[in-house]
Amino acid sequence: MTVKAVGFDSAKYIELQSRHIDERKARIGGRLYLEMGGKLFDDNHASRVLPGFTPDNKITMLEQIRDEVEIIIALNAKDLERQRMRKDLGITYEQDVLRLVDVFRERGFLVENIVLTQMNDGNSLAKSFRARLQRMGFKVARHHTIKGYPANPEYVVSKDGFGKNDYIETTRDVVVVTAPGSGSGKLATCLSQLYHDHLRGIPSGYAKFETFPVWNLPLDHPVNLAYEAATADLDDVNMIDHYHLAAYGEMTVNYNRDLEVFPLLSQLLEQILGESPYQSPTDMGVNLVGSCISDDEACRDAAKQEVIRRYYKAVVAEHRDDLDPVESGRIAIIMGRLGIDTRFRSTVEPALRIERKTKAPAAAIELADGRIITGKTTELLGCSSAMLLNALKALAGIDDRVQLLSREAIKPIQDLKTKHLGSRNPRLHTDEVLIALSVSASTDDHAQRALAELKNLRGCDVHTTTILGTVDEDIFRNLGVYVTSEPVYQVKKLYRKR
């Protein structure tokens, strides 16, 4: 079976990136606070736009210098109060902090410190979470909301600014500051630590590890435009780093928020250290992703696919929540800059074609070897379930005429759903199909062979002509399948359980 092209050299990245961080630490001559932008462990966006980059590449890279590293997790107290969610995982930021600790510790990293940022007297949930963490044995620092941050450097860098924050006692030379998501206070945590280190006579410095945009790729490279699409809800825009151009005569790419805040960040560093070590936002970075692209065309194609995924994600969210098409409109402009539309996604037209033919919802999947497999809605199966079974048969080399699940096997499950569990939909969802297939595998060789192919669905693209329910969404997420959907519900309802 052929596989999709690999465009990124992970081994080279792990070697170069870990060495570069060591060099930056040596240049500082003391402790390095490394702000980790994006996802440290499960960077699924990077793995989609850089084929060959695995979601845990960054933490694998840090394992090369693990004995020098400790990790601080920052969490904005306001995100606890509003129960902010990791949408890609379906869990709260509070839950994600504990998940991240487990992941880091399983890999042998030191994680003792958690900092709750923007704490105030009204943060009742944050206080409760802090007490819970302390019972678990964590050291939990409190950082306060600083009036005027970051626009008033003299006040911020004073006993009434950073001086009021708890100091985080660290023991390693490389301190990685990470968080469940954006706005968690990673930068402020690093700067607060620099302030307190300076008072204690401890040499330390700051650097930023932000994967995107890739500073040494062109501004309009699809990989950089895919980052714009991923942050369209924030209205982030990639720009030429004019500070770097003026200082070095070199054209590099950064994004608007880093460029906007750089003058203030420079002033804060000057207040803390006496002078800023950086002439530009690009200077602050330690990102060598762009130097490890092995097949530019493969990455360009993958990034274009990601832009379309982001577009569909936006239009579905806007339809579901009755929002104006602001985010999807921004991404549509990016698609126009790339010269693509939704038909560039190979699964879209086949799924729509089946729907037009059957007058019912349909789904299509592209396998790793390029084959397109479809599924239609029947009285027994939903289109996603039918497509899943058809794909497993194709992967296992089972004749299409073979029924992996007989009507006799499906009927009792339908009866259970409709007669006892209150469901109005007798068709089997993907989870029910997989359970039925697992039961059949004990006595049926075809079912056993089909189940063995589940691992080969990871990384495949799926398109459905209706918005998926949460059950099917979760199954495809767990299988590592990338799903997009038309912004249409199969049945019109005012209330929907999510």
Residue 2 confidence (pLDDT): 46
Q: Which residues pair with 365 in a beta bridge?
A: 373, 462
User: E strands along 128-197, which residues?
Assistant: 139-144, 174-178
Residue 493 confidence (pLDDT): 54
Is the pLDDT reported for residue 395 higher than 90? yes
Is the pLDDT reported for residue 116 higher than 50? yes
Is the pLDDT reported for residue 495 higher than 50? no
pLDDT in tens, 162-196: 999 999 999 999 999 999 988 899 999 999 999 99
Residue 496 confidence (pLDDT): 45
Which residues, 6+ apart, have CB-to-CB distance to 498 below 8 Å?
470
pLDDT in tens, 438-487: 988 888 999 999 999 999 999 999 999 999 998 899 999 999 999 999 99
Please tell me the distance from the alpha carbon of residue 382 to that of residue 388, in angstroms, as a whole number.
Answer: 10
Please tell me the distance from the alpha carbon of residue 408 to that of residue 139, in angstroms, as a whole number.
Answer: 58
The values of phi and psi at residue 400, to 5°, are -60, -25
Residue 498's pLDDT band, with cuts at 50, 70 and 90, is very low
Task: Tell me the pLDDT of the chain averaged across its residues.
Answer: 92
Pairing state of beta strands 85-86 and 91-92?
antiparallel
Residue 115 confidence (pLDDT): 98
The values of phi and psi at residue 185, to 5°, are 95, 30
SS3 (DSSP) at 18: helix
Residue 492's pLDDT band, with cuts at 50, 70 and 90, is low
Domains and CATH numbers, the chain: 10-292 (3.10.630.10), 346-485 (3.40.140.40)
Please tell me the distance from the alpha carbon of residue 404 to that of residue 390, in angstroms, as a whole number.
Answer: 9
Helix (H), strand (E) at residue 61 = helix 57-63
- Range in 148-157, 260-269, 282-291, 420-429 the model is least confident about: 420-429
Taking CB atoms within 8 Å and a gap of at least 24, the contacts of 325-329 are: 327/232, 327/233
The two structure tokens encoding residue 432: 């029910």
Q: Cβ distance 74 to 80 under 8 Å? A: no
Mean of pLDDT values over 265-285 = 93
Residue 356: burial class (beta carbons within 10 Å; 0-12, 13-18, 19+): exposed
Which residues, 6+ apart, have CB-to-CB distance to 164 below 8 Å?
144, 146
Pinpoint the alpha helices (H) of 321-421.
326-338, 348-358, 383-396, 407-415
Residue type (1 letter), 309: R
Q: Cβ distance 362 to 383 under 8 Å? A: yes
Please tell me the distance from the alpha carbon of residue 95 to that of residue 68, in angstroms, as a whole number.
Answer: 27
Helix (H), strand (E) at residue 284 = helix 281-284
Q: What are the Cα distances from residue 156, in Å, to 68, 163, 316?
A: 30, 8, 42
Is the pLDDT reported for residue 494 higher than 80? no
